[in-house]
Structure 1
Amino acid sequence: MIAETPMFDCQSCGACCSYSAEWPRFSTEDEADLAQIPEALVAADFSGMRCDGVRCAALTGEVGKHTACSIHPVRPDVCRICMPGDVECLTARAAFGL
C-alpha cells in the first residue's frame, strides 16, 4: 500500500509567513532582486522582510483560512525555498495547530 502525501494549500495556510520574525531573512538575493521589494516591507536594518510581531508584513489575510503574499512575484529567496509539506512548512503549521 502506498501512503498518500497530504496536499497543502498555501493560500489557505500562511503559517510559514507568520511563524518567526527571524525566518524572512535575505540571503542570496542580488541588489536588483532586493530593489523590487517595496521599501516599506523591508526591515529597518535591511536584513530581511519587515515583520509585525512574527508575521511578515507582506502577508495578507487570516492564517489558516485565506492568505496571500502581497509581493509574491518578487518575494525573497527564503520564501521561495519553503515548499508545501517540507520540514519548515510542517514546523510552522504545527505552531498554528494546522
Structure 2
Amino acid sequence: MDQNSTTDLSQLCQACGACCAYSVNWPRFSIESDEELALIPQAFVNERQSGMRCDGDRCSALKGKIGDATACGIYAVRPEVCRTCMPGDAECAMARRKFGLPVIDVTL
C-alpha cells in the first residue's frame, strides 16, 4: 500500500483509533473559538469544559475497536488536537505503541 497518499493515510486512521484512546488528557481544547466549541455535542465534553469526555483513556466520541475499525462520532467538529495528530507523526507513533500496533512509516 502506498502510505503516502491521503486516501491511504485516512484508511490507516480508520483502522486504528489509538490516538483517540491514548490518554484522558489528550483530547483537550486549546485554540478552538467559542463558536467551534458550541458545535461539539455537550454529551462529549468533559465536566471541566476543558476537553472531550473520556471513558477511561478513550474519547467518548470514538466508535469501534482500536486497531481494527474506528470512526469519530463528531469528526466534522472534532477539536484542534484531533485535527493535528497525523498518521506517522510522533504522537501517532506513541499512541500506536501503547496498543502494540506497528508504527506507520510515511517516509518517501
What are the ranges of 5 or more consecutive residues in structure 2 without an aligned counterpart? 102-108
Answering whether residue 20 of structure 2 is matched by residue 12 of structure 1, we say: no
User: Higher relative CO (CA 8 A, sep ≥ 6), structure 1 or 2?
Assistant: 1
Q: CA deviation at 1:5?
A: 6.2
Name 2:84's counterpart in structure 1: 81
Q: Which has the higher helix share?
A: 2
Name 2:34's counterpart in structure 1: 31
Distance 1:52 1:14 in 2: 14
Question: Aligned residue pairs: how many?
Answer: 95
What are the ranges of 5 or more consecutive residues in structure 1 without an aligned counterpart? none
Q: CA deviation at 1:71?
A: 0.3
Deviations 1:53-84 (A, max 9, x none): 00000000000000000000000000000000
- Relative to the length of structure 1, the TM-score reads 0.93
- Relative to the length of structure 2, the TM-score reads 0.84
